[in-house]
Amino acid sequence: MAKTWFITGTSTGLGRLLTERLLARGDSVIATLRRPGALDDLQARYGEQLRIVMLDVTDTAATRAALKQAFDQAGRIDVLVNNAGYGLFGVAEAVSDAQIERQIATNLTGSIQLIRAALPYLRAQGGGRIVQISSEGGQIAYPNFSLYHATKWGIEGFIESVAQEVATFGIDFLIIEPGPTATSFATGLDQAAPLPCYENTPASEMRRAIASGDFAIKGDAAKTVEAIILTADLPAPPLRLALGSTAYQSISKALAARRKELEENKPLTLSADREDD
């Protein structure tokens, strides 16, 4: 049976590909974007199967209005996809206050407010699914991406909590964690100027790797989107889905290291309990 999807950030990248694939298989899509005209070709091809909404996810009032309009018009939305976002690149002390505020407002606050605004409608219709496009960077970290990681780790923690709050209402979540994938993400990085004092550090090595193209990008965008759709269609999807060999390897390594550190410090950890317990 055809589904109705609400997807943010559909101008390019995974959001655009996801919209194309879903329309092609017969689903309806309510697609949000900030750049007029980006989906005009799809609108001409699919007509009323595609509804386009202009939305900047950093505008909470606009997000609430867009969701109200979407549910009023569609009647039911089966899957909401929080996809809008971008990356801020630079060492923590070099990025500007304005860059930090924009990164958090887009990737974290914007995603949180979309979820909060959607929950009453999903409860009223008896359930639904929210897909959060996160990143391997929601569980691991690279130098120069500290603010980006803060938003991805933050939204994953938010969802882990909210998922427990709303499971009774038939609402579930799927967090997608792709590794480096061939999209426009790298070219769209918001970059801070390098600081000379960080030369010959891991931060400068990362900057050179990205600038030269030596940073390995193994993920295929089309295959990533197919995996997202396949998993979102499952009756009971996992809470998290890592995608790509880089994500699998980096997350596995990080989890093993955290578990090792936890066990090594177990005596000191347990010593913090009250004596009468």
Query: How crowded is residue 62: how many other Cβ atoms within 10 Å of its Cβ?
Result: 16
Residue 141 has pLDDT above 70, yes or no: yes
> What is the pLDDT, as a whole number, of residue 181?
82
> What is the pLDDT, as a whole number, of residue 79?
98
Could you give the CA distance from residue 35 to residue 14 in angstroms, rounded to a whole number? 16
Query: How crowded is residue 104: how many other Cβ atoms within 10 Å of its Cβ?
Result: 17
Q: What is the DSSP letter of 108?
A: I
> What is the pLDDT, as a whole number, of residue 185?
65
Percent of the chain whose pLDDT exceeds 90:
88
Active site residue 248: no
8 A C-beta contact, residue 2 and residue 77: no
Residues 4-27: what's their mean pLDDT? 96
Could you give the CA distance from residue 112 to residue 158 in angstroms, rounded to a whole number? 8
Contacts 24+ apart (CB under 8 A), 228-236: 228/14, 228/18, 228/131, 228/176, 229/18, 229/21, 229/22, 231/174, 231/176, 232/79, 232/129, 232/131, 232/174, 236/172
Active site residue 198: no
Question: pLDDT digits over 107-137, tens only?
Answer: 999 999 999 999 999 999 999 999 999 999 9
Residue 46 has pLDDT above 90, yes or no: yes
Sorted by sequence, the CB contacts under 8 Å of residue 217 that are 6+ apart come out as: 180, 181, 182, 186
Q: Where are the domains of the chain?
A: 4-245
8 A C-beta contact, residue 145 and residue 107: no
Q: Which of 98, 97, 93 is nearest to 143 (CA)?
A: 93
Question: pLDDT digits over 154-192, tens only?
Answer: 999 999 999 999 999 999 999 999 988 877 666 678 999
Active site residue 152: yes
Could you give the CA distance from residue 80 to residue 68 in angstroms, rounded to a whole number? 13
Residues 189-217: what's their mean pLDDT? 88
Residue 223 has pLDDT above 80, yes or no: yes
According to DSSP, the residues that pair with 30 across neighbouring strands are: 6, 51
Say which of 134, 135, 204, 250 is annotated catalytic: 134
8 A C-beta contact, residue 169 and residue 122: yes
End-to-end CA distance of the chain: 54
Architecture of domain 4-245: 3-Layer(aba) Sandwich (3.40)
- 3-state SS assignment for residue 3: coil
Q: Which of 117, 110, 6 is nearest to 58 (CA)?
A: 110
Matching residue, tokens 């295929």? 220
